[in-house]
A and B are shown apart, each in its own frame.
Chain A
């Protein structure tokens, strides 16, 4: 039986994650630290988180995703309450362990465990729940009408909007964007008619265009939707040399670090760059500096392989729920990677989200490892069919 479990594991995926683990330790090791952080054993702690993450991923794999599906509403309720708790804390209501950091209420500071970020886990919970909604919807309405499509869309929005709103208000634009990416990718694959999807896309683009126009002419809506510091983030992104605010400054530092890596990099330990959060959000800049274009491209290729492997699992599986889960995870990882790497090279504005599997950070790594556990579990299910 034990043998059976291990035979169902996808060792290709595990090997990819192992390579990412190695990359993470090297990157964090070579990240220059500000004097106040020297002596914090980030490499050791990341190693520890990877051990914990592996155990949790294995636990999820054993548990089987079908059981997670059954529990999805309960998880949803738990994390929604935790998010509500943070919202209450933001408005001055005392909530135990609620913790403010970097100007946002996104964390619970637990004794012994450390900081926990509920929104990180909400991403997984939302994938579980939306997948379940789609599957149940399609089992109920086999011959779907346009009306049915709208009904499904309505359900998805109904469960997504509360957590999305709460995360946006923390304020944590980065994680909120990841949630949107998850929702969007799952809607795409859910089988909703193209017309509706294009309609949504058009509405989204129109909304952004209107927002930009509003910014230039009246500023009525912009000021409600985006806080001043979020607007500054956009200025800093568009012209960092003119807007030497915090974001502009970070971007210039990041670009200097990335650019001076050139083709082959300066080599780990030879760096002379100053980057706040170099072990965390800006870890990719460190890699670019140390290992150059070659090293950075290899890492991107590795990420691409990882995502390819997950999509491959989604295509292979016979179980639609498994496929939806893999889709959600794909959306989550892709967007997070794109956003994080993009912000270091001025493709995206700067938001505080970490690079999956590489950046130092427990909550993010745990949720990503849970995602890997789910993918492994989906694949095991596929193999079970194959062998049966």
Chain B
């Protein structure tokens, strides 16, 4: 067996000398001749008969060659060599085709990897299919009467969690988790300097329930949760980033918001938590201490008020339990716990139904990612379509020049299969190069997309993405191989060979098909340009939106009081200190930093009457907030230093509030809130943006932060005389002088913070714009290439026309007329298509209609310019043909 195998291997690599075959055959023939001579034939007749009997020597030799195990590799290598030679002969063509394919394939790969992360990727844990995010069904919020932090439809109270987790016939595991602060990160110190890290407190079954692998040490137990143990598990990435993969990490102490924790484990690589899109650095068991409260809130702990809804949950349903069944079976328990903690709830207003969203990608959790990504995928697919059409047209053009070559090869015996194999090989080479380049392009583009979209997890191109790219490439290669074959084998061999000009195959049909392709490209390009135009104008609308405040020269950063010292004193000292720095005009603070998407929302009670269905937005702010922010106070006064815990509670409202609820009276003096929570309105301010740039004006109130019993993280707003960022080092030093272990959290200008609020739209607008321009460029190249090619083929005809008296301008018109036709046809098809395609784009636009006529006009004009320019250059060349020269070449 082994020798047999070795022999085969030897022949796979080595080949016999050709002379061996010759010698062997010569011997054979000699013997045959000798035998025939013996039988009495003359030597020449013997020779003749022997040769006839033997048959085709060349064919026999080929057949012998074909027996070789490595024969097909030779053929393949030959095809590749030949293909490379052909491509090297036209470097311009090769470069353009490879670049086009690289752009098309690369853009698709990059966007697909985002789509993969957003819509498809499963969590990197054991049996990820059984995991579900738990949320309120039908988009409901928490039951009326509950107060919540986080997202209203994903927050649950601790008591609810405890009640639900008892239902072990439904849940294999029910996991609770909640971030330690709004922005996710908190101050962590394990060496000299404090740093920021993203942390969550989680139930004891977090790691075991998820089946998340632990690299070093252990995960949590139920005991850890019940005893609120001071232990922490680090993520692999955090361990690598901040602890240099310290092998002796277990048992080390880490101070989280000043509280000492012992490291007990490190997760396996790739696990970044279950929070969608963001990476979590560490986990601690659910805590009871006020400073480690859920969301970093200063008030109660999780175990305090039973009306406080703040925990997020993830479920592993028992196998065989469908989400709908779980919803049905749990509604009783859910209703009971709500009744027990909040009281009776009108079933018309709120139903105790839970929804289980598969933990697949970010999309299962957060719909806002889905549409944009799908739209983007559509846009890049169109770009690829244009790129492919271009390549097909270029190949077509090139191959019709090569008609001669094909016909010649077929005439001397090449089969269709031979030619097909060779064309396929050429197109595989092109696509292979394009795909390889595209992959490189995609890897860097994906990194860019990741930083723009704020998706920290799962964006690296994985196996699914690679498969996608390969499928796209192979499809492209097949099409490019087949299309030229179609024309190659259909050409009449004799006709092509006889003719000296390459005109023979330019049939009427062919020209029409070419025009149709060009028109289709124009139609597709119109869609892309329109989308690009709308997205870019949306972007401009965001940028020029009036914020209602002076964002320039305003710096904002968060700080959190550490240890359990008096938070009033903490903020008073910091504010006083910073206010005296040279270069600082004024300093104030806010509980929710404007532009982050966070806000407080509560029921509205005005003058003791609960306003049904009205929601009041609010923010807790420091003294002089409106002066610092540059928000005009329309009536009454700003928040003052004297508004402290012991003084009368005050509130300010915005103009929208005044107009909606207190239109006919003087708003000052009215009272917000109920019970002990009453606040008198002392001022009216003009509207300003709170959560995001894109929000509509809402009724809103501002409360004096210092009138609350304790303060958690606050965001300091610093109005500076000069460039705000220049002040940052001085501010940092100043805070450190007071409180050395308090870091400045996410310092940036207020302007930048607002820009972040439309970051995603900005990314999609930028990408949409990029793809639009890319498409226009591709179409321009395609048009230019095709027109040039046509003109060069019609040289003789043009020469003849001019010899017969046609003027240069007539020739120019003739060529331009064709381009006009193509453009008209393309627009005729493209305009209705565009109208249809813009519908899904609606959700991504801001301050502009999806059918904005100006954008439409602009897109059409741009296309006209592109198509005109692409035709004009070749047309001018055609018009400058010297008749005699053109005719002589025939």
Q: Do A and B come from one complex?
A: no
Interface residues of B (CB under 8 A from A): none
